[in-house]
């Protein structure tokens, strides 16, 4: 594309260094799968994030167009596009945060596990790149089935000798957004005023909203608990069916991914009390990975919070969730090991 004529003094604002204008810290972020249904709105929202100084868009298709388009937005982040495997290295070197929404989405009638066959290999090969070219970056995994793909990423990093469990996270923020939205609708309040921890994993019964821990605290009837739990667990399917073959949640997911990525960057900047739910390496249960509230900081995940008090309904849900999660995690691990 057209380049501006060179200025003799080199220009006042040297582009591409990792400090945003005014000396505020800026971070380098790569999005892998940037041309997709999630990737495009996610890239746009990250281009608008003042904490981002450099934004790398990587995909196996269409990144030149997406990059040219976004590069005309008059926000601080410098956008660069990368296309195909031979450009993965340049896309990843120097990154602070890598967000991965690459892979196929569900169609009506499919479970997230049905995506395993295709997405497992995609996540494996992209994480091999991360291990090689930016092993100290925080990695946000969006590609489904998250309950397996996070275990795949961990195995890839272990194999490469670079695994740091504090830097690897499965993004479950959309489950929390749905929980807040559906609960607010029942209570007749602004969703911004509600906060529900959602623990476990990111598929069907492994999505466990802890309605007893709703903030601000309130009481739900048995009927409300059953309705809300069911709607939160099947929120993704609601969108898949409404899109009728055109994919799964993309816009709400991009919103949720940016909410989580922004929390990671605020943590890196050193902000206090940055707390979100995420699917991470965990000792909260006997499983190696589990979603709970975590605190994000300069080193990635700094605290993994315990579950807190559960009622009888939630304890039963937890047992069900753990059974399915165990199988999904083992499937991911054995995919890489065998
Ligand atoms: P999409 O099909 O619209 O986009 C996927 C993108 O990945 C495409 O641009 C494709 O070219 C790219 N891609 C494929 N192989 C690649 C590779 N090897 N390297 C780089 N890029 C590659 O799909 P959509 O709707 O954006 O969904 C992406 C993933 O996110 C799906 O697996 C979906 O299930 C998952 N998802 C996760 C959610 C969560 O809460 N964690 C919520 C919604 C979707």
- pTM for the whole thing? 0.96
Question: Per residue of the chain (338 residues), what is the pLDDT tens digit?
Answer: 678 888 887 665 444 444 444 555 699 999 999 999 999 999 999 999 999 999 999 999 999 999 999 999 999 999 999 999 999 999 999 999 999 999 999 999 999 999 999 999 999 999 999 999 999 999 999 999 999 999 999 999 999 999 999 999 999 999 999 999 999 999 999 999 999 999 999 999 999 999 999 999 999 999 999 999 999 999 999 999 999 999 999 999 999 999 999 999 999 999 999 999 999 999 999 999 999 999 999 999 999 999 999 999 999 999 999 999 999 999 999 999 99
C-alpha to C-alpha distances, 91 to 222, 238, 276, nearest whole angstrom: 50, 35, 27
Token representation of residue 178: 């749905």
Evaluate: CB of 98 within 6 angstroms of ligand 1: no
Decide whether any atom of ligand 1 lies within 6 Å of the 167 Cβ. no
19 vs 24: CA distance, rounded Å = 6
Of residues 196, 181, 191, the one with CA closest to residue 314: 196
Active site residues: 202
> What is the rounded distance in angstroms from the CA atom of residue 274 to the CA atom of residue 295?
6
What is the 8-class DSSP label of residue 135? T
328 is in an annotated binding site: no
37 Cβ closer than 6 Å to some ligand 1 atom: yes
Question: For residue 146, what are the contacts with CB-CB under 8 A and spacing of at least 6?
Answer: 112, 170, 171, 172, 201, 202, 203, 279
ipTM topping 0.95: yes
Q: Which helix (H) or strand (E) holds 332?
A: helix 312-337
């Amino acid at each position: 594309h057209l380049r501006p004529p060179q200025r003799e003094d080199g220009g006042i604002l040297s582009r591409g260094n990792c400090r945003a204008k005014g000396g505020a810290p800026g971070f380098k972020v790569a999005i892998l799968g940037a041309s997709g249904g999630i990737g495009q709105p996610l890239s746009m929202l990250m281009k608008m994030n003042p904490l981002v100084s450099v934004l790398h868009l990587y995909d196996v298709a269409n990144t030149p167009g997406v990059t040219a388009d976004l590069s005309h937005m008059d926000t601080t982040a410098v956008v660069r596009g990368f296309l195909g495997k031979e450009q993965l290295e340049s896309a990843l070197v120097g990154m602070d945060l890598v967000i991965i929404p690459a892979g196929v989405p569900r169609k009506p009638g499919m479970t997230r596990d049905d995506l395993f066959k295709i997405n497992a290999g995609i996540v494996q090969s992209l994480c091999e790149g991360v291990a090689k070219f930016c092993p100290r970056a925080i990695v946000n995994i969006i590609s489904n089935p998250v309950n397996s793909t996070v275990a795949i990423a961990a195995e890839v990093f272990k194999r490469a000798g670079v695994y740091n469990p504090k830097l690897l996270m499965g993004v479950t923020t959309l489950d929390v957004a749905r929980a807040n939205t559906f609960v607010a609708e029942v209570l007749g309040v602004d969703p911004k005023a509600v906060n529900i921890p959602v623990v476990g994993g990111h598929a069907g019964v492994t999505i466990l909203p802890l309605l007893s821990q709703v903030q601000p605290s309130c009481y739900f009837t048995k009927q409300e608990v059953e309705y809300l739990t069911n709607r939160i667990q099947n929120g993704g399917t609601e969108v898949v069916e409404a899109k009728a073959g055109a994919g799964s949640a993309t816009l709400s997911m991009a919103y949720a991914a940016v909410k989580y990525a922004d929390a990671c960057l605020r943590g890196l900047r050193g902000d206090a009390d940055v707390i979100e739910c995420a699917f991470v390496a965990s000792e909260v249960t006997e499983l190696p990975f589990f979603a709970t509230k975590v605190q994000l900081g300069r080193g990635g995940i700094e605290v993994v919070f315990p579950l807190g008090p559960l009622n009888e309904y939630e304890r039963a849900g937890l047992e069900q969730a753990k059974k399915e999660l165990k199988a999904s995690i083992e499937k991911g691990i054995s995919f890489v090991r065998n």
